[in-house]
Structure 1
Amino acid sequence: MNKNVRPLGALAAASALLLAAGCGGGTAGTGAAADQPGQLDVVTAFYPFQFVAERVAGPHATVTSLTQPGAEPHDLELTPRQVASVSTADLVVYERTFQAAVDEAVDQSGNEHVLDVAAVVPLQPLAAGEHEEHAGEEHAEEGEEEHDHGGLDPHVWLDPTQMVTITTAVRDQLSTLDPDHAADYQANAAALEAELGGLDQDFRTGLASCRRTEFITTHTAFGYLAKRYGLSQIGITGLSPDAEPSPARIAEVQQEATEHGVTTIFYETLISPAIAQAIAGDLGLATDVLDPLEGITESSRGQDYVAVMRSNLTALQKAGGCS
């Protein structure tokens, strides 16, 4: 197991103090309180990867998330304790370019046991017709930083079939680190992959016959899902959920809503619904939640990834007039 402390520049002293105090897996973020003797220490960047790691590892690992419940993962800043946890973890599961603070911590840590999800599920650019609202000139004048995803969509976990690929990669990593329990990791992964396969089939069936395939959402996070199931995503604010759409973009969205007979403007649980409500109010449309599953809170429509994805399916069916 990888428990050696590596230099972290200015944070080296803080890391050493934390380790001397008995820093365990549970201090990295959210998850189990502490690892038990013989357990692996798995640190994940945010909820979807935490979900997979917990399901595959079972009792053989303590799994924590660097992103607290209810926090917007795009804007994550790490504490010295969290940076130290990245260095000492037996496995880190993250996605490069999604959270700059996690990328930096991984690079500084020297930890060789990391799984970059973007390396097993190649990221894709926004599909034709999807909108990326950078508001570059306005925000540049105000000195605001934009999220930099390298022009690629990071939201691979919203396609259940890609979650199967991630599950397999986590299984392989855990089996290599802990071969004594490889059979358990194999069985746990197989069970999760079967559940994800059932979810995929439900989406295929549930969205096979819809009066409208276009949907409008504040956060352009659903490109992989839309492509998988034959839908067309119209984003208001682009990949950055906290970006402010320009007046011109709002007018464009209103026109597209009218042209496509859209009935619903979707918003998400971790971001203010004000923009969606304003657009919907102007057009006399409904609003509803389409959850990008970047975190689970008490407001989430389900207690885990699969349950919230099924809620998303129900919302899309209702908005699309699917039979």
Structure 2
Amino acid sequence: MPPPRAAFAALALVAVATLASCTGASGPTASSGASGGARALSVATAFYPLQFATQQIAGPHALVTSLTRPGAEPHDVELSAKEVVGLRKADLLVYESGFQPAVDQAMDLLDASKVLDVTPLADLTLTGAQDDQAHAAGDGHAHAVDPHFWLDPERYATVAEAIGERLSREDPAHAADYTARTRAFVDRLDALDAQFRAGLAHCRIPDLVTSHAAFGYLAQRYGLTQHGITGISPEAEPSAAALAAIADLVKAHGVTTVYQETLVEPHFADVIATETGAVVATLDPLEGITKASAGTDYFEVMRANLATLEKGQQCR
């Protein structure tokens, strides 16, 4: 668990005084520095979808890092004092408030003018209470806001445009390039949206049973109804009554596929599949890219998700 706010702040402030030579925020770097000897912007991002969008838009003009290492569950990320020092040195931090407690705690130690919180832009309209099984689970997360906006290409595009605008303000000399790169990225998201609309237009099974309720925005956008075995939090454990309710729904609605995830143990999905005779398939919430991912970037994995849904929901 993340340390209490006061202790966290004290630790980080000591580090600020004693680790003046620390480098920037830790995490994978995928963007090169600016050409011609110019100093690249230093941009820290909280987790993969924000890192990916920022890298695509920044191109060679920024050094983009992520606070969440590959293979780690972003909800559970913890920040060392050295990493907080790195954040204080960054030109910009792009994050989503309410998603990662440790990152939220660090905000008190940062200059607010160097922070872009995408939450107000992402149109986070869904909560666990709007997923009937998450609500039935009684897991304490029924009213948590669903943070997984990037699984809806339209919401992701809105956030990407905001990132592009902010990079242009931070580095006006390259504003035209940021604008062009943003347009190209949004065009790719628009094309992805069109693929999902066509692929999921006629699904025999509209009920989407997932290991945790990460796919609400995707389901809402494309006419499916999500039923999470657990709620918004992947660490939540469903009650026996909630598991029984999901199993009954699977049988009654003719659901043939239950979806597990890449960064979460498939135990509960396996339980439902065993009880009902459904098969288990992998649907990736794209909180990070790992060797187990069905692609090397957001677009490849989303297209793999589409193919999985077309088969599992019997859309062909």
TM-score scaled by length of structure 2: 0.91
Deviation at 1:193, TM superposition (A): 0.6
3-state SS, counterpart of residue 134 of structure 2? coil
Q: Name the count of aligned residue pairs.
A: 305
Per-residue CA shift, 1:106-147, capped at 9, x if unaligned? 2221241211111112211337454325855xx7xxxxxx67
Is contact 2:27–2:65 with CA below 8 Å preserved after alignment?
yes
Is contact 2:126–2:146 with CA below 8 Å preserved after alignment?
yes
Give distance in 1, aligned partners of 2:143 and 2:32. Answer: 36
- Residues 35-50 of structure 1: matches in 2 within 5 Å? 37-50=38-51
Residue identity in the other structure for 2:29: G
Deviation at 1:244, TM superposition (A): 1.2
3-state SS, counterpart of residue 215 of structure 1? strand
Give distance in 2, aligned partners of 1:80 and 1:131. Answer: 39
Give distance in 2, aligned partners of 1:201 and 1:223. Answer: 18
The alignment status of 1:122 with 2:115, answered yes or no, reads no
Deviation at 1:80, TM superposition (A): 1.1
3-state SS, counterpart of residue 255 of structure 2? coil
- Residues 84-103 of structure 1: matches in 2 within 5 Å? 84-103=85-104
Q: CA separation of 1:91/1:16 partners in 2, compared to 1, >3 Å: closer, same or farther?
A: same
Deviation at 1:205, TM superposition (A): 0.3
Q: CA separation of 1:150/1:111 partners in 2, compared to 1, >3 Å: closer, same or farther?
A: farther
Residue in structure 1 matching 2:160, options 167, 183, 186: 167
Q: Could you tell me which residue of structure 2 aligns to residue 262 of structure 1? A: 255
Gapped regions of structure 1 (runs ≥ 5): 1-7, 140-145
Q: Could you tell me which residue of structure 2 aligns to residue 280 of structure 1? A: 273
- Which contiguous aligned blocks of 4+ residues in structure 1 show a shift greater than 6 angstroms? none
Q: CA separation of 1:155/1:13 partners in 2, compared to 1, >3 Å: closer, same or farther?
A: same
- Provide the alpha-carbon RMSD of the alignment: 2.1
Give distance in 1, aligned partners of 2:205 and 2:93. Answer: 41
3-state SS, counterpart of residue 192 of structure 1? helix
Residue range with higher mean Cα deviation, 59-68 or 105-114: 105-114
The alignment status of 1:156 with 2:149, answered yes or no, reads yes
Residue in structure 2 matching 1:30, options 11, 28, 31: 28
Give distance in 1, aligned partners of 2:156 and 2:31. Answer: 26
Per-residue CA shift, 1:37-72, capped at 9, x if unaligned? 510000000000000000000000010110111111
Gapped regions of structure 2 (runs ≥ 5): 1-8
Give distance in 2, aligned partners of 1:227 and 1:151. Answer: 17
Deviation at 1:266, TM superposition (A): 0.3
Q: Could you tell me which residue of structure 1 aligns to residue 108 of structure 2? A: 107
Residue range with higher mean Cα deviation, 125-134 or 76-85: 125-134
Q: Could you tell me which residue of structure 2 aligns to residue 240 of structure 1? A: 233
Give distance in 2, aligned partners of 1:189 and 1:259. Answer: 45
Q: Could you tell me which residue of structure 2 aligns to residue 143 of structure 1? A: none
TM-score scaled by length of structure 1: 0.89
Q: Could you tell me which residue of structure 1 aligns to residue 3 of structure 2? A: none
3-state SS, counterpart of residue 316 of structure 1? helix
Is contact 1:46–1:73 with CA below 8 Å preserved after alignment?
yes
Give distance in 2, aligned partners of 1:311 and 1:65. Answer: 24
Per-residue CA shift, 1:226-251, capped at 9, x if unaligned? 11111000110010112111111110
Deviation at 1:282, TM superposition (A): 1.8
Deviation at 1:151, TM superposition (A): 2.8
Residue identity in the other structure for 1:293: L
3-state SS, counterpart of residue 13 of structure 1? helix
The alignment status of 1:185 with 2:178, answered yes or no, reads yes
Q: CA separation of 1:86/1:134 partners in 2, compared to 1, >3 Å: closer, same or farther?
A: farther
Deviation at 1:186, TM superposition (A): 0.7
Q: Could you tell me which residue of structure 2 aligns to residue 314 of structure 1? A: 307
